[in-house]
Structure 1
Amino acid sequence: MSPGTSPLRLVGANALLWAAAAGGLSIAAPGVDTLPRLLVFSECVGAVMLAVALLMRRLPRLTRLRPAQTWALTAALAIPLGYIGGHALALLFLGEPFRLTGTGAARLAPVVVHLLVGGIGLHYLAAREQLAQEARARAEAQRLATETELRLLRAQLEPHMLFNTLANLRALLREDAGQAEHMIDQLIAYLRATLAASRHEASTLEAEFAQLRAYLEIMALRMGPRLSYTLELPPELAATPLPAMLLQPLVENAIKHGLEPKVGPGRLTVQAHLDGAHIEITVRDDGLGLGADGQFQRPLDGPASSYGLQHVRERLRAAYGPPATLTLSPLQPQGLCSRVRIPS
């Protein structure tokens, strides 16, 4: 069976194909047998042929051959074995003595039909396997491209954040040595977490929240009373796997576009909770929020106005597929809520 093919769907398609073969045989050669008996023989032949083909596809030696050679060898064995084994199985089911064919048209017509239908069935399997291989290759290429974009995004974000922090740290050393020491500790924690994330594609909610805490603590020292934050992660969700640095762009977006331009104090809350079959992670801020056109309030497969947000969407799609979503919506009286939903 080709990877990615549902077993029930494959068996169902095979049963329909051989039922059509029995119907066609009863019309083309009405004197061969009754339709119910033809159905029994055709379904048994199709089932045995499919089983032989699937077993052969699991042989390690066949994987070393070219696809055309592999399927030629599979057809050369699966079709005759399926025909003989299927007839034996049908006769056993009907309680009749073993025989392969009758005489005259009763001998030739079933052989020709089963050869043709067996070839069609194996061609279907080969086409499904080729499509599955191409889909896997595309998914792997998309994953590699997404991870490459992640590294480029880190390369863009980290120096900018690092230089600004060091500039603030230099000024803070003259004013408050204790606060400067605290900022250094948080910067070390943030860089350590970022380095760990750069070496692994997957992380956990606990690690992501720890990195966000270090980052937000640095930003709180830089912005002073203009920024306060809350991180809420239930203990039962701490070990939940998550793509590394998935939440970082959402938090940076909230600060850069919402809280830093705002006059006066602002608050940011990152919260994770279980919502049925999904885990929901929200990033809320009371900053400037959406523009008048609501340009950020878009579904996962929609265009994005921010590279960071588009990057989050692409990583969600690559990691979870359609069940994962990222939506952005305005808060009242002002602010923005970024909501990530992933399967639990």
Structure 2
Amino acid sequence: MADAAAIFSKTNPVLTSRPRRWLPSPRRIALVVVAAALVAVLFIPLTKNTYLELFGETLFVGMALLLAFQGAGATNPKKVPRWVAQVVGVAVAAVLAPLFVQLFTAGGSFERFIGSHSHVRGYVLVTLVAMVIGLLVALGSLYREREAEAESQALQIALLRETLERQATDARLQLLTAQIQPHFLLNTLANVQELVESGSPRAVPLFRSLIAYLRAAMPHLQQGDATLADEEQLVRAYLELMQMRMPDRLAFSVEIDPALRTMRFPPMALLTLVENAIHHGVDPHVDASRVEVRAGPGEGGVLRIAVIDTGVGMSEKASEGTGLTNLRARMRAFFGETARLELSEHSPRGLRAELVIPQPA
């Protein structure tokens, strides 16, 4: 769960909430300038001031509203929601900013401001306009911020779900691999034990082959990411080991398209098919048999990896074992639902087990 926890951690550069800025963005400042210019035009018929005076007053009030909104949004109040602090901040600025402007034009005298009908009228007019426009813009901005936060949370949830699904798939692959590995190793050791107990002269070279095989196989038992070249190496070593056990009854060939050797492949998946061919096809057959391993592109944009044996064939197999059942699940988990395992009779005798997987892009 470490990857999932990192999604919401403070160190995640993508999904961590961006810090609230005290200073407004250039885009918002530009919008305030344009709005102040338009409002100043509307005030011309209502006052005797020049356009530049009106523009200066409305721009000052607009910037005060913007700073109040931005500053309240940058705070982190504990007792009230942030949007409430922003609305209250805009309302307070809409009252105080026009008052400061009128006091400035009245020479700083509050008595002169109160006694001037034009100053009071201008204050009330600007305050009402600032209150209405400021609150409407603030609410609209808050609505857009809520939508942006909802989209960000949706992306976080989607990424978390994808991460958890990937972790679940990896865990399932590890479980299925763990089920297959003991099965394979125990069968191999049982075959070696037969030769040792029978006193066969091939016991010593067989042990050497087994040790060489285990040296190649053990690193792949723990890793979760293997290639088809790794599988080819294991399959060759395994077939050589089995050929030493029954030299008169087993021949084999391995033909892997060189272009496919670097392809990611589930560890020991191909080996499962080869082992199945040996123990359920070649071993029960009294005559000489052959195992062929082929891998290459097929029709319809798929890759076909086949293990063909000339053993007893499908008719003497009552049902699939744990190895093939797990292999089907591993292939779907690794390559997707379109990956499949096909079993068919091989002419004149034997079994063809073929993995059909989508061709990687």
TM (norm. structure 2) is: 0.58
Amino acid at match of 2:188: M
Distance 2:341 2:175 in 1: 24
Where does residue 281 of structure 1 map in the other structure? 305
Where does residue 191 of structure 1 map in the other structure? 214
SS at match of 1:225: coil
Where does residue 156 of structure 1 map in the other structure? 183
The match for 1:231 among 254, 260, 264 is 254
What's the offset of the Cα at 1:269? 0.9
The match for 2:150 among 123, 126, 134 is 123
Distance 2:21 2:313 in 1: 64
Where does residue 69 of structure 2 map in the other structure? none
SS at match of 1:77: coil
8 Å contact from structure 2 (residues 296, 303) kept in 1: yes
Distance 1:60 1:199, change over 3 A: closer
Unaligned runs of 5+ in 2: 39-58, 67-128
8 Å contact from structure 1 (residues 270, 284) kept in 2: yes
Where does residue 327 of structure 1 map in the other structure? 341
Distance 2:220 2:324 in 1: 19
Amino acid at match of 1:337: A
Where does residue 163 of structure 2 map in the other structure? 136
8 Å contact from structure 2 (residues 304, 354) kept in 1: no
Where does residue 277 of structure 2 map in the other structure? 254
Distance 2:145 2:315 in 1: 61
The match for 1:337 among 334, 338, 353 is 353
Q: Is residue 245 from structure 1 mapped to residue 268 from structure 2 by the alignment?
A: yes
What's the offset of the Cα at 1:287? 3.5
Amino acid at match of 1:307: T
SS at match of 2:287: coil
Distance 2:307 2:33 in 1: 66
What's the offset of the Cα at 1:119? 0.5
What's the offset of the Cα at 1:59? 11
Q: Radius of gyration: which is bigger?
A: 2
Deviation string 1:62-119 (CA, Å, 9 cap, x unpaired) is: 659xx9xx65xx4x738995xx5555677999xx999789867655444323322321
Where does residue 20 of structure 2 map in the other structure? 77
SS at match of 2:248: helix
8 Å contact from structure 1 (residues 262, 288) kept in 2: yes
Distance 2:317 2:8 in 1: 59
Distance 1:128 1:183, change over 3 A: same
Distance 1:312 1:116, change over 3 A: same
8 Å contact from structure 2 (residues 273, 353) kept in 1: no
8 Å contact from structure 1 (residues 79, 115) kept in 2: no
Q: Is residue 168 from structure 1 mapped to residue 195 from structure 2 by the alignment?
A: yes
Distance 2:288 2:340 in 1: 27
Amino acid at match of 2:323: G
Distance 1:59 1:260, change over 3 A: closer
Q: Which moved more, 1:216-225 or 1:96-105?
A: 96-105
What's the offset of the Cα at 1:127? 2.8
Distance 1:167 1:262 in 2: 18
Distance 1:120 1:271, change over 3 A: same
What's the offset of the Cα at 1:340? 4.2
Distance 1:125 1:218 in 2: 57
SS at match of 1:264: coil
Distance 1:129 1:77, change over 3 A: same
Identity in percent: 23
Where does residue 323 of structure 2 map in the other structure? 308
Q: Which moved more, 1:272-281 or 1:207-216?
A: 272-281
Where does residue 126 of structure 2 map in the other structure? none
TM (norm. structure 1) is: 0.61
User: Aligned Cα RMSD in Å?
Assistant: 4.3
What's the offset of the Cα at 1:210? 2.0
Distance 1:114 1:294 in 2: 70
Distance 2:316 2:343 in 1: 12
Amino acid at match of 2:354: S
8 Å contact from structure 2 (residues 328, 341) kept in 1: no
Amino acid at match of 1:244: P
8 Å contact from structure 2 (residues 307, 353) kept in 1: yes
What's the offset of the Cα at 1:202? 2.5
Unaligned runs of 5+ in 1: 5-56, 296-304
Amino acid at match of 2:325: Q
Distance 1:78 1:229 in 2: 70
8 Å contact from structure 1 (residues 226, 266) kept in 2: yes
SS at match of 2:311: coil
Deviation string 1:234-257 (CA, Å, 9 cap, x unpaired) is: 444444443321211111122233
Amino acid at match of 2:195: N
8 Å contact from structure 2 (residues 192, 207) kept in 1: no
Distance 1:267 1:79, change over 3 A: farther
